[in-house]
């Protein structure tokens, strides 16, 4: 029987860069989670016979929310729910399942790389029928509904056994508990030259993959160890835990330091990689060589045709605005279109659907292609493995070869976390007011060529997104970008992105911090970071 539960709106249920992300304790308030899910169902009513995909990264609070979402989906008229066994579906696997089974959409329960556990974070993302994150028009409709909501719908039904594959009935709705790995692993096998990678492994190629006790563990074991022949133990921290073992599942040089130290040490394997909470981010480190996400995008784009799935060539490349222009140089040489979008994978969806881009990437450790509509951590790892096996080259040699051909975009992101929101907003507002006066001004050896606030008009649906970050461009191609993060859950996070281009005959193997020192000094002078925030150094440099 369908039951109608009265409720009142909550403030602050506005999806950010990637869904609604809040502390678990916020989601645990009575009606809070249900209000948001009902707002999704009200904003995007299911068509007749619709399928909904539900899964998550295995973090604390996933299971009760999955059970509740199943009952609510039945009460709201869905005909079928596909849910990953154990409640598990990585974000890219969920995207694939939505596409493969023609679902109307999906709920992905994850706060991505944010820590998990009763005192940490939780999140809910809604993906649309193309498998990608809901575009702004949909997230705005969801937010609007959260502000007027007065009831949510559910059914009296017992919990589903999430741990056993099979089917169950909730009212008129069928629930299928599916293998979370099988469809995704088959998709990867269709894109990449598994025999070539297997041959490299048999020939002694070694790797370490850090799953960070998050969702990619089962996927990485099934693909890397079972199918590609890497020895057991190649996947480290492979069991998903509700609190990620107490770690911060963000695959960067700070939180994946153990992997970094291994890769820089005397016993480094040939290849090191990691993924995040929900499996959409990636970290790539060769023996003795870290590859920035921006460079990884450019290097993968330049070499993608070594993989069978991309042998016909690329239709175009897309990157988020703060991502370095390294990929633009590959696109220019190959005569490919290159699109610059705001931060957020959702902005790639229309380009991928329209066949305007094949490979997309972001500085925030995200790379992916038109095989799904999310960024995909293991996909990036497998494309790297395919390229290395086909070219019989090391990561370091590939990077040097790339820079010698295209030049090098030295790049770093400085994050100032949990700063006072008012101070952060004031910093950005002041910066915006100075935009007109900045051009022509010198900061040490750097002279400002142009400065603006990034605005984007989607070339497919013509949607306009304003205020997507402040860009300060210098003579010679160096750049500083200032942005406030849309994924933090405490105060504000200021991101400062520094980039300097060195041509192919320039200094290609110098320390990044040294190459970017003038830009870091200029960033503080331009934005008054210390003055506004009281911080004299970033919390995280990636």
Measure CA 80 to chain center: 28
Question: Given the structure tokens 């994978």, which residue do they identify?
Answer: 345
Q: How far is the CB of 372 from ligand G16 (least distance, A)?
A: 13
Of 59-67, 98-106, 341-349, 464-472, the window that binds ligand G16 (rule: CB under 6 A) is: 341-349
Residue of 281, 402, 471, 500 that binds ligand G16 (CB under 6 A)? 281
Binding mask 360-379 for ligand G16 (x = CB under 6 A): --x-x-x-------------
Q: Cβ distance 396 to 388 under 8 Å?
A: no
Closer residue to ligand G16, CB minimum distance, 15 or 309:
15
CA-to-CA dists, residue 435 to 182, 206, 457, angstroms: 51, 50, 21
Closer residue to ligand G16, CB minimum distance, 91 or 409:
91
Q: How far is the CB of 525 from ligand G16 (least distance, A)?
A: 23
CA dihedral 58, 215, 132, 282 (to 10 degrees): 140
Closer residue to ligand G16, CB minimum distance, 485 or 512:
485
Of 69-77, 289-297, 479-487, 528-536, the window that binds ligand G16 (rule: CB under 6 A) is: 479-487
Closer residue to ligand G16, CB minimum distance, 113 or 143:
113
Q: How far is the CB of 237 from ligand G16 (least distance, A)?
A: 18
Long-range contacts of 137-143 (CB under 8 A, 24+ apart): 137/463, 138/43, 138/44, 139/14, 139/15, 139/346, 141/43, 141/44, 142/15, 142/36, 142/39, 142/40, 142/43, 142/44, 143/13, 143/14, 143/15, 143/39
Closer residue to ligand G16, CB minimum distance, 42 or 458:
458
Using rule CB under 6 A, residue 340 touches ligand G16: no
Residue of 41, 184, 345, 410 that binds ligand G16 (CB under 6 A)? 345
Q: How far is the CB of 386 from ligand G16 (least distance, A)?
A: 23
Closer residue to ligand G16, CB minimum distance, 46 or 117:
117
Question: Given the structure tokens 């059970």, which residue do they identify?
Answer: 67
Closer residue to ligand G16, CB minimum distance, 15 or 77:
15
DSSP summary character for residue 31? T
Sign of torsion over alpha carbons 479, 289, 215, 102: positive
DSSP of 69-136: HHHHHHHTT-SEEEEEEEEE--HHHHHHHHHHTT-SEEEEE--TTS--STTSEEEEEEEETTSSBPPH
Using rule CB under 6 A, residue 319 touches ligand G16: no
Q: How far is the CB of 17 from ligand G16 (least distance, A)?
A: 4
* Contact positions with ligand G16 (CB under 6 A) in 44-63: none
Write down how long the chain is. 542
Of 50-58, 142-150, 447-455, 483-491, the window that binds ligand G16 (rule: CB under 6 A) is: 483-491
Distance CA 237, CA 399 (A): 28
In SS3 terms, 379-416 reads as HHHHHHHHHHHHHCCCHHHHHHHHHHHHCEEEEEEEEE
Give the count of alpha carbons within 13 A of 350, CB side only.
Answer: 16
Active-site residue, 364 included: no
Distance CA 307, CA 329 (A): 21
Distance CA 503, CA 408 (A): 6
Using rule CB under 6 A, residue 18 touches ligand G16: yes
Q: How far is the CB of 360 from ligand G16 (least distance, A)?
A: 10
Q: Count residues binding ligand G16 (CB under 6 A).
A: 17
Residues 6+ apart with CB under 8 A from 311: 305
Q: How far is the CB of 126 from ligand G16 (least distance, A)?
A: 13
Closer residue to ligand G16, CB minimum distance, 360 or 398:
360
Residue of 71, 248, 408, 495 that binds ligand G16 (CB under 6 A)? 495
Using rule CB under 6 A, residue 344 touches ligand G16: yes
Residue of 234, 487, 489, 533 that binds ligand G16 (CB under 6 A)? 487
Residue in 18, 90, 95, 112 annotated catalytic: 112
Closer residue to ligand G16, CB minimum distance, 386 or 489:
489
Residue of 22, 113, 143, 402 that binds ligand G16 (CB under 6 A)? 113
Using rule CB under 6 A, residue 255 touches ligand G16: no
Distance CA 34, CA 38 (A): 6
* Catalytic residue set: 112
Binding residues (CB under 6 A) for ligand G16: these are 17-18, 112-113, 276, 280-281, 343-345, 362, 364, 366, 485-487, 495
């Amino acid at each position: 029987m369908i039951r109608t539960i009265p409720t009142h709106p909550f403030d602050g249920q506005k999806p950010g860069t990637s869904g609604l992300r809040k502390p678990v304790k916020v989601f645990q308030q009575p009606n809070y989670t249900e209000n948001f899910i009902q707002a999704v169902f009200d904003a995007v009513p299911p068509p007749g016979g619709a399928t909904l995909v539900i899964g998550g990264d295995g973090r604390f609070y996933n299971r009760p929310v999955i059970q509740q979402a199943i009952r609510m989906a039945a009460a709201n008229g869905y005909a079928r729910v596909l849910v990953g066994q154990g409640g598990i579906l990585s974000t890219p696997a969920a995207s694939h399942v939505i596409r493969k089974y023609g679902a109307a959409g999906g709920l992905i329960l994850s706060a991505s790389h944010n820590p998990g556990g009763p005192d940490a974070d939780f999140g809910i993302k809604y993906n649309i029928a193309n498998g990608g994150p809901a575009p702004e028009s949909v997230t705005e409709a969801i937010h609007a509904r959260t502000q007027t909501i007065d009831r949510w719908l559910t059914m009296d039904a017992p919990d589903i056994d999430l741990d056993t594959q099979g089917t169950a009935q909730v009212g008129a709705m069928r629930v299928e508990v599916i293998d979370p790995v099988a469809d995704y692993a088959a998709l990867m096998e269709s894109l990449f030259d598994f025999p070539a990678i297997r041959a490299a492994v048999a020939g002694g190629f070694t790797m370490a993959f850090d799953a960070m006790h998050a969702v990619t563990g089962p996927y990485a074991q099934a693909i890397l160890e079972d199918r590609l022949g890497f020895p057991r133990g190649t996947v480290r921290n492979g069991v998903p835990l509700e609190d990620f073992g107490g770690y911060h599942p963000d695959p960067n040089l700070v939180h994946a330091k153990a992997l970094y130290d291994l890769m820089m040490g005397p016993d480094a394997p040939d290849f090191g990689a990691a993924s995040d909470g929900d499996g959409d981010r990636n970290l790539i480190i060769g023996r003795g060589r870290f590859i920035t996400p921006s460079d990884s995008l450019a290097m993968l784009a330049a070499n993608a045709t070594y993989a069978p799935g991309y042998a016909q060539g690329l239709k175009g490349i897309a990157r988020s605005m703060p991502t370095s222009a390294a990929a633009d140089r590959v696109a220019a040489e190959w005569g490919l279109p290159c699109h610059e979008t705001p931060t957020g994978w959702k902005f790639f969806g229309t380009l991928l659907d329209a066949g305007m881009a094949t490979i997309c990437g972001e500085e925030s450790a995200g790379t992916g292609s038109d095989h799904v509509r999310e960024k995909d951590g293991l996909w990036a790892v497998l494309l790297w493995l395919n390229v290395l096996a086909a070219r019989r080259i090391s990561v370091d040699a590939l990077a040097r070869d790339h820079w010698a051909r295209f030049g090098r975009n030295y790049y770093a992101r400085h994050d100032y976390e949990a700063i006072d929101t008012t101070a952060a907003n004031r910093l950005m507002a002041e910066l915006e007011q100075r935009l007109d006066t900045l051009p022509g001004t010198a900061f040490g050896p750097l002279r400002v060529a142009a400065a603006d606030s990034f605005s984007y008009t989607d070339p497919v649906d013509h949607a306009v997104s304003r205020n997507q970050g402040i860009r300060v461009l210098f003579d010679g191609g160096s750049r500083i970008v200032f942005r406030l993060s849309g994924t933090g859950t405490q105060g504000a996070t200021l991101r400062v992105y520094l980039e300097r281009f060195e041509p192919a005959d320039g200094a290609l193997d110098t320390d990044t911090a040294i190459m970017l020192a003038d830009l870091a000094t200029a960033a503080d002078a331009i934005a008054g970071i210390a003055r506004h925030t009281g911080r004299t150094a970033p919390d995280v440099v990636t």
